Structure 1
Amino acid sequence: MANQISAQCVKKLRQMTGAGMMDCKKALQESDGNVDKAIESLRQKGLASANKKSGRRTAEGLIESYIHAGSKIGVMVELNCETDFVARRIEFQQLAKNIAMQIAASPNVHYVSINEIPSNIIQEEKSIESGKEDLINKPEKVKQQILEGRINKRLKELSLTSQAFIKNPDITVQDLINENISLMGENIQIRRFVRFLLGEGVEKVEQNFSEEVASMIKS
C-alpha cells in the first residue's frame, strides 16, 4: 500500500518545484515523505522545472477551437509555447484541445488567471460580500477572515487556471500545464480565450401561443 501523503505536503512540494501534483505525490510516497529526496527525484526525472521556465518568452503555439455537441457553445483559445517544434507535438495539441473543452465546461470563468482579474472587479466582489447580512454582527477579525476566504473562492471561480481539470479533478488546469512544461521542456502559457454562446446578448421574444391564436380569431 502506498504511503499516505497529506495534500498540504504535496502542495508545498509543487510550489517548491513547479512539478505536477501527481508527480509530487508519487515522489513523496517513494521517498517516505522526505521532501529533499522527493525534490532530488523530481529533478532527476526532469520534472522540477516548470517554475524556472515560466518566465521564458512564448511566441509560438496555436489557436484551438472546440464546438460542443449541439453547436450551441463554441470556444477559441490561444496556447503559446517557445518553439514551432513543440507547437507541432501531439501532446501540445492535445493540451490545447483539453483546455478548450475546459473553457466550454466552465461558464463562470472569464479570465486566464487570478493575476489578470482587474482591480475594479475584485473591489466589486469585496463590496458585495462585505454587505451580506451574515457578516454584519461578526467581530471585525472574524469578518475579515470570512471575507478573505470568500473573495479567494470567488476569484478562483473566475480564473481558468484555478479550475479543477475536468478529466482529472485531483489537479488544476495550472497543474496540467506544469506537467506539460516538464514533459516538453518549454514554457507554456494560455494567452487568451473567447467563449461563444448561441443567442447570447440577443433579447429573445417570448410569444404566448394561446394569445396569438386568440388574436387571429378576433381578426
Structure 2
Amino acid sequence: MKISIKEISKLRTITGIGIMDCKKALIQSNGNIDKAILFLRKKGEKIAINRSSSKMKDGALIASVNFNYSCGTIIGISCETDFLSKNSKFLNFLSILSKQSLLFSNKIDFLSSSYDEYGNIQEMIVNYMGVVGEKLELKIFEKIVSPFVINYTHNTNKIATLVGFSKKVNTLIAKDIAMHITAMDPIAIYKKDIPTSLINEEIEIIENQVQKENKSDFVKKNIIQGKIQKFILENTLLNQKFIKENKITVQEYLNKYDKNLKINLFKRISF
C-alpha cells in the first residue's frame, strides 16, 4: 500500500516517532492512524494515550465558575492561526463569552441566547470574525454541576479543567486538585470508571510486549498483572502521586483536609 508523506508527517506529529517507523506502522495498518498508533505501542514505543476526542487545531479554551461555585463551564473557540489564539483581545472576547455561558446548560441554548446589541451569541461570534479576519467557531461547550465546582485554565489557554466536589472546599485545596488534573491527565477517578475497551487494549499491548521475553508463562503472567496494575494506578486520579507532594497520593492529600470529601467528576479539555 502506498502511504503519502502527508500521512507519515501526521503520524509523526502525533507520536514523535521516526519517519521510517511511522511509514511501516501505516503500511501495517492500511493507512489507519489509530491502528498505526496501536501497532507502535505494541512494539513498545512510548506514546501518550489519546484520552479526549475534543481536540481542535487552533484556538483557545477557558474554564469559568459561577459566583457560588455551584457550576462551571469550559468553552473553546477554534480559529485559523495560532497567532490569533494567543492574542489578548481574542482571549478577552473568549472570557466574555465564558462568563455568559454559565447561564446556559448546553451549546445550542447558549449560541441562540441574546447578548447586548447582537441578535444572539452566534451573531456576536460572526461579527467578531469580521474584526479578526478569521473563521471562528464555538467548538467546545462543557458544563458540570456539583455542590462545589472549581476551575483552572492553563496559562497557554490550551488546557482547561473543571472539578466537581461533594461539598464546599477551601478554594486553594480545590485549585490544587484542578492543577494536578491539568498536569497529569488522569483517565478516570476510580478504576471502575476506566472504559473496559481501554483496559483490554492495554492488556493486548502488554501481552504483545511480554511474549517476546524469554521467561516462563508463570513469570510472564505476573509481569502482565503487575503492568496492568501500574497502568490503573497511574491513570486513576485518586491513586496518582500528587504533583505537589509526590510521596502521597491525591486521595491521601484529600484525606489530610477532609476524609469525607469526594471528587464527584471532572472535565479536562485540551488542544
Structure 2 length normalisation: TM-score?
A: 0.43
Please state how far the C-alpha of 1:177 moved relative to its aligned partner: 1.4
Q: Deviations over 1:99-151 (max 9, x none)?
A: 100011113x1111223223332222111100115545321110011111111
Preserved contact between residue 207 and residue 224 of structure 2 (Cα < 8 Å): yes
Kept after mapping to 2: 8 A contact 1:103/1:195: yes
* Structure richer in helix, relative to its length: 1
5+ residue gaps in structure 2?
A: 1-144
Contact 2:210/2:220, CA 8 A, preserved across alignment: no
The number of equivalent residue pairs is: 127
1:122 partner amino acid: I
Contact in 2 for aligned 1:165/1:176 (Cα 8 Å): yes
Check whether the contact 1:74–1:104 (CA below 8 A) recurs between aligned residues.
Answer: yes
Which whole-Å CA distance do the structure 2 matches of 1:171 and 1:71 have between them?
Answer: 29
Distance 2:200 2:146 in 1: 35
Q: Which residue of 2 aligns with 1:98?
A: 176
Distance 1:60 1:191, change over 3 A: closer
For 1:152 and 1:164, how far apart are their aligned partners in 2? 15
Instruction: Provide the rounded CA distance (Å) in 2 between the counterparts of 1:78 and 1:191.
Output: 5
- Structure 1 residue 60: deviation in Å? 6.4
Return the alpha-carbon distance in structure 2 between the equivalents of residues 72 and 192 of structure 1.
21
Identity across matched positions, percent: 32
Measured after TM superposition, the shift of residue 94 of structure 1 is 2.2
Structure with greater Cα Rg: 1
Bigger relative contact order, structure 1 or 2, given CA contacts below 8 A and separation 6+?
A: 1
Provide the rounded CA distance (Å) in 1 between the counterparts of 2:221 and 2:173: 39
Partner of residue 246 from structure 2, selected from 169, 177, 182: 169
State the partner residue of 1:139. Answer: 216
Aligned-partner Cα distance in 2 for 1:60–1:106: 22
What secondary structure, in the 3-state scheme, does the structure 1 residue paired with 2:221 have? helix
Q: TM-score with structure 1 length normalisation?
A: 0.53
Q: What is the alpha-carbon distance in structure 2 between the residues aligned to residue 117 and residue 177 of structure 1?
A: 21
- Tell me, in whole angstroms, the C-alpha distance in 2 between the residues paired with 1:123 and 1:133: 15
For 1:155-213, what per-residue CA distance to the aligned partner results, in whole angstroms no more than 9, with x for missing partners? 1222111111111111110101122224xxxx21111111121xx3xxxxxxxxxxxxx
Does 2:199 correspond to 1:125? Answer: no
Could you say which residue in structure 1 is the equivalent of 2:261? 188
Q: 2:237 is matched with which residue? A: 160
- Tell me the distance in 1 between the aligned counterparts of 2:205 and 2:146: 40
Indicate how the Cα distance of structure 1 residues 105 and 68 shifts in structure 2: closer, same or farther if over 3 A, else same.
Answer: same
**1:74 lines up with 2:151 in the alignment:** no
Paired with 1:114 and 1:151, the residues of 2 have a C-alpha distance of 11
**Match for 2:180: what amino acid?**
Q
Q: Give the CA RMSD over aligned residues.
A: 2.0
Q: Deviations over 1:66-105 (max 9, x none)?
A: 0111222111111113xxxxx1x5x3x2221111000111
Q: 8 Å contact 2:147–2:165 — kept in the other structure?
A: yes
For 2:262, give the aligned amino acid. Answer: Q
Where do 1:39-78 residues align within 5 Å? 61-78=147-164
Q: 2:163 and 2:220 mapped to 1: Cα distance?
A: 39
